[in-house]
Every structure is written in C-alpha cells, then in structure tokens.
Amino acid sequence: MRILYLGSAQGFGNAGKYYFTPQKLINGFTRLGHNVYMFNDRDYARYSNIFRSQSRGVKAMNKKVIEMAREYQPHMVVLGHCKNISNETLAEIRKIVPGVRMMYRNVDPLHSKDNLADIRQRVGQVEGIFITTAGDDLAQFSHPNTKVCFFPNPVDPALEVMQAFANPNADIDFLFLGSVLRDQYDHRQDTVHYIMRNAGDLKLHIGGAGVNDGKVFGAAYYDLLGRSKMGLCMNKTESFYLYASGRMSQYMASGMLGFIPEGPRFEDILGNDSFVSYKTDEELVDKIKYYAKNDAERVKIASTGYYKIHDYFMVDKVCQYMIERVFDAPLSMEYRWPTKVY
C-alpha cells in the first residue's frame, strides 16, 4: 500500500526524537512492504508564513495535505497528534481517493481533558482509533463508523539494539528520565525524591523529573539505557489498564530490569517473570536494593523481559494489527495484547 503518515515526526527538528512512536510505526509499515510518505504538519504550518507561526499556517497546511493526497493517492492515512488537520480535510481526501481508509493513534493518558478532546475529534471520522490504554475506558469513544482498539507501545529492532543485562560495563544502578507535569501535582516527583533520599550508595542517574534539567534525547539517550542495570517505568497516571508511556518499552527492550507500578497490571500480558512490580515507594526502594545485590536474579528477569517485549510488542506486529482492524480483515495471528473492539 501507499500510506500517508500525518503528524509530528522527522521534519526540521526531530532528529533527537528519532525513536519516538511515529518513527517506529513508519519503520514497521515499511518492513511489512508498504511505502510510507511522512508529512510533518506542524513544520509545514510554521514555515508557510513569514511569522513562523503555526496557527497562521493552518489553512495553508490543510491545503497542502489535500494536494499531497491528490498526487500520492494513499490507500491508508495514519493520523498522529495532528489536531490542526481538520476533519473537513479528511472528508476532502475521501472524495479525492475513493476507498481510502484512515486511522488515528494516540499515546497519551486518558486522565487529560485535552487528550480526551483530541481523541473525540476523530471519532466517527476514521475507521480505526488506537490508544495505549486498554479495557472498558475505551467504550466512551465507541461509534458505528469507528473501531476503537488498544495497542501497546511498540518495540523496534532497528532502534532498541542494546542489551544492558549483558553489558559487563554497565555503571548505572538505577535510571529514571522524564519530564514533570507543569502547573499541577506530579506524583512521580515525590517518588524520585524518595529514591534519592533512601538509595544509599547506589549509583543513580535521574534526568528531569522535577529534580534537574538533565533530560536526554537522541543517541545519548540509548547510550544511557545500555549502561543502566535497572530503571523506573512510571507514568503520569497509574490508574488505567495497561497504560504506559513509551519509556517502558524503551527500557525493557534495551535490556534493563524494569520497575512498574502495580496499577496498570502488565503481568496480564508479560507474566510475573519479566519485570518487578511494586505498590509503595518504600517497597520500590527495598526491591531496587535487593536486585542491586543479587545480580544473577536481576539479569534473569531483565533478559526474560527483553525477549518477551521484543516478541510481543514488535512494531511490525502492531502495524499488521492496525491494518487488519482498519480494513476489517481477520486477525492473522494470536496477538499477545487485548484485541477487543469497542
């Protein structure tokens, strides 16, 4: 197929984010044999006017999307976080390309009102909506014209190439990199401060998290993952079934021992032998110290998680699943994640 990917990827300023979900999906669709044309709607909008204003360039950007669809004649359109692309533009594409199928993917948590609005913008407008939250929370987006499905944060063998559990020179005991929510309470900040106060002589690497300005992107990010024995896979919220940020897949698929809060219940997919779960900050620190002292156990669990997540969440399988749902095709394999359609 010819696939048109619309969203914030590649473009003029995203080299440091080359491992984010958009690039993984582009890689996955390509390895399945499809051709993907990527259009960065935000960059085009900014550079379509002398003021370099995204809002001033929205009209020109939507016009350009329609022109591209006329030239490229895509079989499928994939929408990322591109809310400035209007539903009227999508309707115009359907007139230009009869039979085209469309899907929207969303990787943000459902506790955000802004994110809920972004999802609802595409309800009824696309054949498939894919969200990194599972369970009945997806029922709120149900619509006769749109399938709503869970998808896991994918793992890409072209990007997750480190095996930290097999690195004899790994010099970081425990890692957490993340931003902190602005203008509102963020429980992750409390947890990180507790770890720092109680970690003893463990070598920590904390970047961002409201503690410092040490957020890391680009190749340097994966360098840190390959040097880290353990890492915290903690999200903005732990209240939604199987929700996780891309951090979990990046950490575990790079061979780190992942520490995951009990709330999302990832043991339902990965079992109890692939990561370490915890309820409280006290339990978290106790387990960090335990596995820091028991290297063989750490390596065993981290390696099990590595091989499972590379298999279960491989982006090629995720992309194949998306295509099958969007085109109403039977599922070609027994996928490891929940496949209920809402």
Q: Do domains 2-154+314-326 and 164-312 have the same CATH topology?
A: yes
Tokens of 151: 């998808």
d(CA 175, CA 158): 22
> Given a cut of 80, is residue 210 above it in pLDDT?
no
> Given a cut of 70, is residue 181 above it in pLDDT?
no
Per-residue pLDDT reduced to its tens digit, 269-289: 999 999 999 999 999 999 999
Per-residue pLDDT reduced to its tens digit, 287-303: 999 999 999 999 999 99
Q: Is the separation of the CB atoms in 322 and 127 below 8 Å?
A: no
Percent of the chain whose pLDDT exceeds 70: 99
d(CA 244, CA 246): 7
Q: Return the pLDDT at 208.
A: 83
d(CA 274, CA 258): 8
Q: Domain residues of the chain, as ranges? A: 2-154+314-326, 164-312
Nearest to residue 314, comparing CAs of 329, 293, 298, 333? 333
φ/ψ of 253, rounded to 5, equals: -75, -5
Q: CATH number of 2-154+314-326: 3.90.1150.10, 3.40.50.300, 3.20.20.80, 3.40.50.2000? A: 3.40.50.2000
Report whether CATH 3.50.50.60 matches the domain 164-312: no
d(CA 135, CA 149): 9
131's enclosing H/E stretch is strand 128-131
